Structure formats: C-alpha cells, structure tokens
C-alpha cells in the first residue's frame, strides 16, 4: 500500500525557515569566491584520521551552478565540493576487521540527493549514490595509510520539484570495526519507532498519479480503499539499533504481479547466515512496486486532563502499513557501531538479479540507519473523522505482528502527544506537543 520515498511535498512553511541556512551558505560561498586564489590555496580542506577514536567532522556545500572538476567524471557535469582525507593509522589497527567510514548528511528540506565519491591516485575507490534519503556512507576496508580525495556532488532527490540552489552538508571520517566473531552469535537487527516530527492536515499533493484533491488531506487511494474522510498525516521514522542489518529477500516470476513470500536473512558473526520466514510482500498496483506487509502501525488514544489514556481502546486505529524498506537516515551519526549505506532507495523497486525467468529482490536497513516515510506519502495517516477535539497520544509500533527476528522485542513502540482542534469543521488543525508516554 505504500509508495517509496519518491517525490516531493507541496510548499511547506517549514522550508522557509530552512531557507535562511541556504541563503547564509550562499553568502559564505560568495565571500569565498571573492578571496584571492593564493589565500584560498593556503588553507586546503583536510581531514586526518590517525586513531580509532572519535570521528573527525567537516562542513561543506555544493551549488547547482558551481564550477565542475574536469578530471573527475562524476564532477564534470555538476558542482562538487572536495577535500583531502589523510589516513595515518597505527600498524596494528586492522588486527580487527574494519575500515575507515566516510559519510555525509544534509537537510531533507533541500530536496538534495548528494553523491559521495572516494578517489585515490586518480582512481575511484568507492561511492554512495542513493537517490532518496538524507545521507550517504561508505567504508574503506582496512584502509591503507595515505591520501584519499573525497568528492561530494550536487544532486536532487528522485522526483524533486523545488530543489535548493545551494545545499550545505556535514561530513565525517572515522574507524569502524566489524562485530567480534566470538562468541559465535546471530547479528540481529533491533527495530524501534522514533517520535514523529510532523503532524498535519495539509494537502499532500500528487505522487505517482495518486492525488489529494484541493482542500483535502486524504489521497484518492486512501478515500477509495479505506473510506478515509479526514486524514491526520504524520511521518514515520523507523530505525535499526541492533548488531546486524534487517535484510528481506523474495523472488517472482517475470511478468507475475502478486503477493510473494519473503524471508529475513540473519547474518552471523562468522559471516554465515540463515534465512527465516518473515511473512509476505505485497504488490501495490497503484504505485507499481512491492512493499513488506505490516511493517508499522499507528493509533490515536484520547487523553484526559491529567494526561492519562481514556478508555480501554484507541479512539482511532491506522492500517498496518507496508514499506519498501531502505536506508535513508544515518541515525548513528558520529557514533560507533553503524555501517555503510547498503540498502539504497529507490533501488528497492528493482530486482537485484535475474536468473532465467526468476527475478530476485532484496532490501533492508543497515545497523545505525533509519527508514523515513514523510507525511506527504500515501497511507501516512489516520482518519480522525467524527473524533472530538482534544489531546491525543499518537502511538507507532514497528513490526506489530512480530514477524521479524530482533535482538529486543520490547522497544518497538514510540509515541508523541498531539492536540487536535476544529475537527468538526472543514479546516481541522493539529499541533505536535512533544514526546508521549510508554506504549500500553
């Protein structure tokens, strides 16, 4: 039932506040361009990784009209920011399997999809180029000491309609180790729901030919398939804080579009794996691709004046929504224990391999990453028609049916407090008040 994280929201007031940062970045860029070339060259951007301690950070920006770098293929047609990464690690650093992680992130409001490219000696070493998300990350396995060139390219997210001309970003470099082999164990994911950042009755626009009519907060598909009349829209950000990835695999016969059985691949600390049954994926004809069934569910619970839950059941229950699971947000930014971007979006829409007449798909979520579904995507809603004005708790649970194997099943739910007003009118309003209580 879910569209991937493709397309853009309509004009959003929150974007205007973020524009200040973009304008400031443009001013700083203009000032930098006005400096004499000798002054700029005297202070090259350099990051040094000399131990397996804390991450080293830098800030940069790319521009839609910035100059290309002719000798770098990925930077010939678009502007790239660049810096030198100097690796000078003790000789025993790689006695443990690992590598140097290089990562970037930026604000989602820019509609950016920046690319990350690592060169050494004039040759491309690795890259991260997911077209949907707000971060890129790579690992240089057992990185040899020496100089690497890091290039960050300007780009816009798949389906963007209003990209910013200047996109600031933040970067990091640090040593990351793989989990120890012993004791031999399953490296399970651990899923949890982060608090919502947006709740709204705004019109979400059009995505994949699915439209919310003027003055409506519900998509046509939500009105037709669910009978929705008044859609409280919200984002869902589901993260993996476990020791291993969530990886889902399934296959289909070419030209057959139906629900398919899916397995969860669980990796072990010795690099072996086992495949476990994990339910099904569904093919959504309106949007033309597969999603993992029942990945998350939200519900609204009315509260009393003291903040307690009223009654024995939620006031409104949302559908168990499906996801085309992917890495979009690097949640463990600058923390030890995350991995490189391994499940890019929108790659989850296409098969990874074709053997004979069988297409093989896989997608998932790397440890330290989250999958973000914004409020303006189909099915990111609960129908509040007929509810009274009041203060509610919005609960969200990832894997509500416990189909997935996790390291901890007790932390899958999160909540926020919302105030809903004017529900009996054609202009309902929602306010996000903060993080909510423990899930019942």
Residues of the chain with pLDDT under 70: 1-44, 286-287
Helix (H) or strand (E) holding 148: strand 146-153
pTM attached to this predicted model: 0.88
Tell me the chain's radius of gyration from C-alpha atoms.
23
All CATH 2.60.120.380 domain ranges of the chain, comma separated, are 13-177
Q: What is the pLDDT of residue 32?
A: 39
pLDDT at 55 (0 to 100): 97
3-state secondary structure at position 97: coil
Q: Which residue has the tokens 């470099």?
A: 173
Specify the pLDDT at position 408.
96
pLDDT at res. 41: 33
Looking up tokens 């920006």, which residue turns up?
61
* CA 310 and chain centroid, separation: 34
CATH architecture of 13-177: Sandwich (2.60)
In this predicted structure, what is the pLDDT of residue 157? Answer: 86
Query: For residue 5, is the peptide bond before it cis, meaning its omega torsion is within 30 degrees of 0?
Result: no
Q: Rounded CA gap, 363 and 347, in Å?
A: 8
Give pLDDT, residue 1.
34
**Dihedral over Cα of 32, 33, 35, 40: its sign:** positive
What pLDDT is recorded for position 31?
A: 35
């Amino acid at each position: 039932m879910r569209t991937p994280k493709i397309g853009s929201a309509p004009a959003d007031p929150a974007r205007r506040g973020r524009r200040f940062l973009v304008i400031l970045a443009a001013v700083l860029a203009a000032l930098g361009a006005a400096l004499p070339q000798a002054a700029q060259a005297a202070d090259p951007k350099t990051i040094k990784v000399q131990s397996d301690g804390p991450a080293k950070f830098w800030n940069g920006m790319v521009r839609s009209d910035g100059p290309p770098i002719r000798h770098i293929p990925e930077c010939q047609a678009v502007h790239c920011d660049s810096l030198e990464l100097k690796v000078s690690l003790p000789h025993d650093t790689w006695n443990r399997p690992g590598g140097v992680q290089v990562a970037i992130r930026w604000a989602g409001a820019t509609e950016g999809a920046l690319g990350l490219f690592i060169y050494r000696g004039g040759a491309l070493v690795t890259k991260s180029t997911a077209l949907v998300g707000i971060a890129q990350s790579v690992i240089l396995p057992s990185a040899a000491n020496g100089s690497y060139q890091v290039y960050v390219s300007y780009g816009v997210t798949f389906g963007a309609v209003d990209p910013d001309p200047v996109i600031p970003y933040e970067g990091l470099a640090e040593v990351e180790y793989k989990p120890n082999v012993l004791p031999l164990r399953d490296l399970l994911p651990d899923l949890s729901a982060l608090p919502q950042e947006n709740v709204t009755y705004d019109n979400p626009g059009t995505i994949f030919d699915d439209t919310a009519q003027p003055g409506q907060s519900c998509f046509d598909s939500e009105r037709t398939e669910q009978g929705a009349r008044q859609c409280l829209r919200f984002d869902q950000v589901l993260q993996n804080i476990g020791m291993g990835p969530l990886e889902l695999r399934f296959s289909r016969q070419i030209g057959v579009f139906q629900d398919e059985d899916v397995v969860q691949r669980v990796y072990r600390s010795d690099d072996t794996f086992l495949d476990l049954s994990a339910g099904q994926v569904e093919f959504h004809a309106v949007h033309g691709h597969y999603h993992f069934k029942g990945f998350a569910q939200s519900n609204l619970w009315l509260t009393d004046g003291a903040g307690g839950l009223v009654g024995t059941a939620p006031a409104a229950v949302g559908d168990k929504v499906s996801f085309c699971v992917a890495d979009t947000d690097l949640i463990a930014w600058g923390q030890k224990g995350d991995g490189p971007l391994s499940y890019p979006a929108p790659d989850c829409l296409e098969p990874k391999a074709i053997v004979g007449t069988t297409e093989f798909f896989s997608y998932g979520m790397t440890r330290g990453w989250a999958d973000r579904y914004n409020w303006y995507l189909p099915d990111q809603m609960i129908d509040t028609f007929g509810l009274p004005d009041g203060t509610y708790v919005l609960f969200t649970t990832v894997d509500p049916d416990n189909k997935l194997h996790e390291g901890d099943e007790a932390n899958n739910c999160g909540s926020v407090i919302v105030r809903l007003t004017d529900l009996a009118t054609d202009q309902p309003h929602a306010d996000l008040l903060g993080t909510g209580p423990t899930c019942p």
